Structure 1
Amino acid sequence: MISPDHVRTLAAYNRWMNERLYAVCATIDDPERKQDRGAFFGSIHGTLNHLLDGDLAWLARFRGDTVDQRLGEDRHADFDRLTAARHATDEAIEQWAATVSPDWLAAPMTYTSNVDGLTRRLSAWVLVTHFFNHQTHHRGQITTLLSQMGVDYGVTDLPWLPALDAVIDA
């Protein structure tokens, strides 16, 4: 089972990566961001929207709120609005992560999937693991698309997360 510290570290990593990724994507003009490049959700913009949608759905489930998932639909056509929503969601994820306890992570959680309509019951820690894996999976698709465009997005590895204060031996 994962720990609350693990959840908080991945929430910080999520924010850090999203800030860096959105900064790079802001340097690309809108038609290029929205061009269908054959990814699961077509374009960079479509994939960014999907990431936001998934994060909002899982965060709502974790908090016991109503889920408003819009699979395959852009929540924000405008990149500036999408960016603002991403920042607000990352803040909400970190606030939620600060409240996670070992008991909550170990407890069973029941949810109904918006993908296949089936209701599942799993330990919360499994679903939180999926939440963060889903983010990394789709950010990886975006970095692949950026790489194919010749855009440098920098290092994406967790040990480079500034909050970890890694000791570097020279």
Structure 2
Amino acid sequence: MYDINMLTLMSHHNRWMNEKLYAVCASMSDDERRRDMAAFFRSIHGTFNHLLLVDRLWLGRMTGTPFSLESLDQELYADFATLARERVEKDAAIAALVATLDPVRLAEPVTYTSFLKRESVTLPLGLILIHLFHHQTHHRGQITTLISQLGYDFGDTDLIYMPGAATAYFGAQPLTAKGAQ
């Protein structure tokens, strides 16, 4: 059984972290964002592009609106402002999808053709969502390393420091200090 509250929390954290990292990177020069720093997708911009590309792929699979891609490092947007705007829209779409889900829908199978394996795969929608959030976290970790190497501070990234984390998980009745004991 998938925990809808946990997926909601992950959706909020996903959006919060993307907003934080894009805000820091907006203060950088384009040269800094595009600098090849030997990361898997070379640069901050390349990694942001990869995340948006793959989120489109997974959302398309989950919603029945396929998104095709040429490669995992395909550049969707050369312009950072456009990339940032599209990230906001995609995070809103992810949050909207999560808000519509229930345990039955989360367990429903999603069948797609794997881009990497070139074969048909069937997985529960809930597992795909967990993977989407895990994938985001993995690559955002790479981005925070690159940001640090460039001398910028991105602040706290821990889920427990996200404003409203308890409310996002527990709903309208977050734990109080007494309830947490």
TM-score bracket for this pair, using the shorter chain length: over 0.9
What CA distance in whole angstroms lies between the structure 2 residues aligned with 1:17 and 1:80? Answer: 17
Q: Does the CA-based 8 Å contact 2:106-2:125 persist in structure 1?
A: yes
Q: Does 1:124 align with 2:125?
A: yes
Kindly provide the CA deviation profile for residues 29-53 of structure 1, in whole angstroms up to 9, marking residues without a partner as x. 0011001111111100000000001
For normalisation by structure 1, the TM-score amounts to: 0.93
Partner of 2:171: none
Secondary structure of the equivalent of 2:73?
A: coil
The number of equivalent residue pairs is 169
Higher relative contact order (CA 8 A, sep 6+): 2
Partner of 1:69: 69
Partner of 1:163: 164
Structure 1, unaligned runs of 5 or more: none
- Mean Cα displacement is larger for which, 115-124 or 89-98? 115-124
Moved over 4 A (4+): 165-169
Partner of 2:97: 96
Alpha-carbon distance, 1:2 to partner: 2.3
Change (3 A) 1:53 1:107: same
What CA distance in whole angstroms lies between the structure 2 residues aligned with 1:2 and 1:103? Answer: 9
Q: Identity of paired residues, percent?
A: 46
Letter in 1 for 2:120: T
Structure 2, unaligned runs of 5 or more: 167-173
Alpha-carbon distance, 1:16 to partner: 0.4
Over alpha carbons, which structure has the higher Rg? Answer: 2
Alpha-carbon distance, 1:163 to partner: 2.0
Letter in 1 for 2:26: A
What's the C-alpha RMSD, in Å, of the aligned pairs? 1.6
